[in-house]
C-alpha cells in the first residue's frame, strides 16, 4: 500500500497491458511508487526516471512548474523513494513507448547526502562493498532477477521431466565428497563432538549421498539448495557458500547422465533468453558483449565429449607446440588445473564440453570404477571463460568395490546406510551437481561469483 492507502500499478503491469494491446490511457489516472534513478530539470519542467523493481525498465515521469511542490521535486535525488500520480501519455516516437505526466509527486523516503550510489557507472568492486544497495543498480537488478528466473527454469526443467524435488539436510554427520572441506557446526566450542548431536556435525558439502536413497525410491530426483565448502581458494569462481542442483537418476549410466546435463543447461539458457530479454540485452551491451551470440551458438550444437586420457594427450601436444601453462608438467594421473580445463574448452573445443573417465585416484570415492580398473565413470562439464560448471558421475553400485574404497578412504563408519543401498535393491544410477552460481555467471557473462550472489561468502570475507 502506498502513502495514500492506494494500490500502485507496477511498471511491469503497464508493459504487460501494452503488450496485450490495451489502451493504456484508459488506466488514467495512474499511481506508481518507486525509486528515482535520475532527475533532471530546468526552470519549468523536469524528468524523473523511476524504477519500481517490478522489471528492468524504468518509466519517465514528466513534471511541470504547475506542480505545487515543483521546486522541491527538482531536488528529489537519485535513490529517493517517491510516489507519483499522473496521466499516461503515449509517446510512440520516443525510445520509451509511454510516459507519465505527473499531477502529484510525493516524497516517501528522502536520501541522505551519504547515499552511496551515484548516477554515473560504478565499478563492480565498489558495488561489492555495498551489498545492500547494489540491487538498486541496473546491473544487479538484472542479475538478481535472472537469478530468480534461473531457479524457476531449473525447477521447471526437472519437474516437467518427472524429477521429484528432495530437501536434503544442511547439517550432516558426514563429508559427502571426502575432501575434508567441511565447516564444523558447534554450539559449545569446549567439546565439539559431545556437543549438540553427540556426533561430529558439519554443514553439507553436497546433498548427493542423501539424495541417492530417494533416487532408488522415486527413480528421478533432485536437490537444489545451499552448499558449503571451506576451500581457501580466493578465485573469481569459488565461494564458501554456493547453491547446487543435484539430480540423481536410477537406471541411468554416464551417457544418460551427460544427456540430462546437456538438456538442463540448454533448457536454462533458452528459458532465460526467452523470459529475461531486457536483462540479457543489458548484459550483452554493458557487461559481456557477445554473450547472446555465445549462448545461441551453445544451443545450436551438441556438447563435445572427450575422455580425460584424450584431453591429456591434447595438452601434452600443446606444450610440445610451445603453449605456455603456469603448470606445464602434463602427465596422466594429474588433477587438471583450471588453465588446462580452460585450454580444452576455449582453444580446442571452443564451446561447452564433457571431460570423462578420470583417473580414480583424483575423484570422489563413490564414482563407478570402469572396467580398466584405472578410471571412473565421471564427467565434468567445462565451459569457456570458467572451466568446470558441473561435476557428475555414475555411482559405484558394486557393494564390495564400494566397501573396499570406503574402508581405504576411512569414511565407512557412519555411512553404512549409504553402502547398504548397494545390497538392498541397488541398480545402475548416476547423478551430477550443477554449480548454480557458476551457471548464472556463464549465462550472464558476469565474471566474478561475488557478483552473482546477493551476499557472497568467500575466503576471508563475511561482510553483512
Ligand atoms: O564437482 P563437485 O564437487 O561435485 C559434487 O559435489 C557432486 N556431489 C555432485 C553430484 O554428483 N551430485 O561440485 C559440483 C559443482 C561444480 O562443478 C561447481 O560448479 C560447483 O559445484 N562448485 C562450486 N561453486 C562455487 N564455489 C565453490 N567453491 C564450488 N565448488 C563446487
Ligand atoms: Mg568437481
Q: Give residue-wise pLDDT tens across range 158-206.
A: 999 999 999 999 999 999 998 889 999 998 878 777 788 888 899 999 9
Is this model's pTM higher than 0.75 or not?
yes
What's the pLDDT at 314? 98
Pairing of strands 429-435, 241-250: antiparallel
Find the residues whose C-beta lies inside 6 A of ligand 1: 176-177, 206, 208, 229, 231, 238-239, 242, 244, 246, 388-393, 431-433, 435, 437-438, 449
pLDDT band at 1 (very low <50, low <70, confident <90, very high): very low
Q: Could you tell which of 335, 363, 433, 452 is best to mutate to test the pocket of ligand 1, judged by most ligand atoms within 8 Å of the CB?
A: 433
- Under 8 Å between Cβ of 165 and 224: yes
- Nearest residue by C-alpha to atom 21 in ligand 1: 435
Longest CA pairwise span in the chain (Å):
85
Q: Helices marked H in 165-235 — which ranges? A: 208-218
Average pLDDT, the chain: 95
User: Which triple of cell numbers denotes residue 114?
Assistant: 551519504
Query: Minimal CA–CA distance to 389: which of 242, 203, 178, 222?
Result: 242
Q: Is the pLDDT of residue 155 over 60?
A: yes
Residue 364 gets the label, from left (phi > 0), alpha (psi -120 to 50) or beta, of: beta
Strands of 304-307's sheet, edge to edge?
A: 164-165, 220-228, 241-250, 429-435, 387-394, 375-383, 353-359, 304-307
pLDDT tens, residue by residue, 90-126: 999 998 999 999 999 999 999 999 999 988 889 999 9
What's the pLDDT at 194? 75
d(CA 50, CA 36) in angstroms, rounded, equals 5
Range 459-463 average pLDDT = 93
Identify the nearest ligand to the CA of 457 by its number: 1
Residue 322 gets the label, from left (phi > 0), alpha (psi -120 to 50) or beta, of: left
pLDDT band at 5 (very low <50, low <70, confident <90, very high): low
- Under 8 Å between Cβ of 87 and 101: yes
Range 2-13 average pLDDT = 79
Percentages of the chain per state (helix, strand, coil), in multiples of 5: 35, 25, 40
Distance 68 CA to ligand 2 centre (A): 62
pLDDT tens, residue by residue, 390-443: 999 999 999 999 999 999 999 999 999 999 999 999 999 999 999 999 999 999
To the nearest whole percent, how much of the chain has pLDDT over 90?
A: 93
What's the pLDDT at 81? 98
Q: Could you tell which of 177, 438, 456, 459 is best to mutate to test the pocket of ligand 1, judged by most ligand atoms within 8 Å of the CB?
A: 438
d(CA 152, CA 60) in angstroms, rounded, equals 30
Distance 391 CA to ligand 2 centre (A): 4
- Nearest residue by C-alpha to atom 18 in ligand 1: 435
Distance 366 CA to ligand 2 centre (A): 13
Q: Which helix (H) or strand (E) holds 362?
A: none
- Under 8 Å between Cβ of 74 and 41: yes
User: Which triple of cell numbers denotes residue 355?
Assistant: 571431460
What's the pLDDT at 256? 98
Distances from the Cα of 4 to the Cα of 32, 86, 101, angstroms: 11, 14, 19
Phi (first) and psi of residue 405, to 5 degrees: -65, -40
Please report how many Cα atoms fall inside a 13 Å half-sphere around the Cα of residue 394, on the Cβ side. 23
pLDDT band at 6 (very low <50, low <70, confident <90, very high): confident
Amino acid at each position: 500500500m502506498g502513502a495514500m492507502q492506494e494500490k500502485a500499478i507496477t511498471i511491469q503491469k503497464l508493459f504487460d497491458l501494452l503488450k496485450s494491446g490495451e489502451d493504456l490511457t484508459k488506466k488514467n489516472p495512474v499511481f506508481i511508487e518507486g525509486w528515482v534513478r535520475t532527475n533532471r530539470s530546468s526552470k519549468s519542467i523536469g524528468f524523473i526516471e523511476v524504477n519500481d523493481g517490478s522489471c528492468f525498465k524504468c518509466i519517465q515521469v514528466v513534471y511541470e512548474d504547475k506542480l505545487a511542490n515543483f521546486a522541491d521535486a527538482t531536488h528529489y535525488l537519485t535513490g529517493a523513494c517517491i510516489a507519483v500520480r499522473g496521466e499516461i501519455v503515449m509517446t510512440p516516437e520516443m525510445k520509451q513507448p509511454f510516459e507519465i505526466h505527473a499531477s502529484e509527486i510525493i516524497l516517501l523516503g528522502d536520501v541522505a547526502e551519504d547515499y552511496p550510489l551515484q548516477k554515473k557507472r560504478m565499478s563492480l568492486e565498489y558495488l561489492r562493498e555495498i551489498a545492500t544497495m547494489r540491487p538498486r543498480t541496473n546491473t544487479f537488478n538484472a542479475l538478481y532477477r535472472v537469478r530468480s528466473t534461473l531457479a524457476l527454469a531449473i525447477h521447471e526443467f526437472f519437474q516437467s521431466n518427472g524429477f521429484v524435488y528432495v530437501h536434503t539436510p544442511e547439517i550432516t554427520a558426514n563429508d559427502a565428497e571426502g575432501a575434508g572441506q567441511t565447516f564444523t557446526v558447534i554450539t559449545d566450542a569446549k567439546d565439539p563432538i559431545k556437543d549438540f548431536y553427540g556426533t561430529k556435525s558439519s554443514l553439507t558439502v553436497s546433498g548427493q549421498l542423501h539424495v541417492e536413497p530417494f533416487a532408488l525410491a522415486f527413480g528421478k530426483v533432485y536437490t537444489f539448495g545451499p552448499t558449503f565448502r571451506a576451500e581457501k581458494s580466493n578465485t573469481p569462481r569459488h565461494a564458501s557458500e554456493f547453491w547446487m542442483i543435484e539430480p540423481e537418476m536410477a537406471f541411468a549410466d554416464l551417457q544418460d547422465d551427460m544427456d540430462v546435463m546437456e538438456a538442463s543447461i540448454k533448457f536454462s539458457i533458452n528459458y532465460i533468453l526467452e523470459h529475461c530479454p531486457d536483462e540479457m540485452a543489458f548484459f550483452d551491451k554493458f557487461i559481456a558483449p557477445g554473450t547472446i551470440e555465445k549462448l545461441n551458438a551453445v544451443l545450436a550444437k551438441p556438447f563435445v565429449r572427450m575422455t580425460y586420457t584424450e584431453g591429456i594427450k591434447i595438452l601434452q601436444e600443446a606444450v610440445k607446440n610451445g603453449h605456455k601453462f603456469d603448470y606445464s608438467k602434463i602427465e596422466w594421473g594429474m588433477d587438471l588445473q583450471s588453465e588446462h580445463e580452460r585450454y580444452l574448452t576455449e582453444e580446442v573445443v571452443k564451446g561447452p564440453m564433457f571431460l570423462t573417465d578420470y583417473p580414480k585416484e583424483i575423484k570422489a570415492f563413490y564414482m563407478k570404477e570402469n572396467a580398466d580398473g584405472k578410471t571412473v565413470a565421471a564427467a565434468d562439464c567445462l565451459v569457456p571463460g570458467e572451466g568446470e560448471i558441473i561435476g557428475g558421475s555414475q555411482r559405484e553400485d558394486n557393494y564390495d568395490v564400494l566397501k573396499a574404497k570406503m574402508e581405504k578412504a576411512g569414511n565407512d563408519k557412519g555411512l553404512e546406510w549409504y553402502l547398504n543401498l548397494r545390497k538392498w535393491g541397488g541398480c545402475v544410477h548416476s547423478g551430477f551437481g550443477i554449480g548454480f552460481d557458476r551457471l548464472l555467471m556463464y549465462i550472464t557473462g558476469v565474471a566474478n561469483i561475488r557478483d552473482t550472489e546477493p551476499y557472497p561468502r568467500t575466503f576471508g570475507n563475511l561482510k553483512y
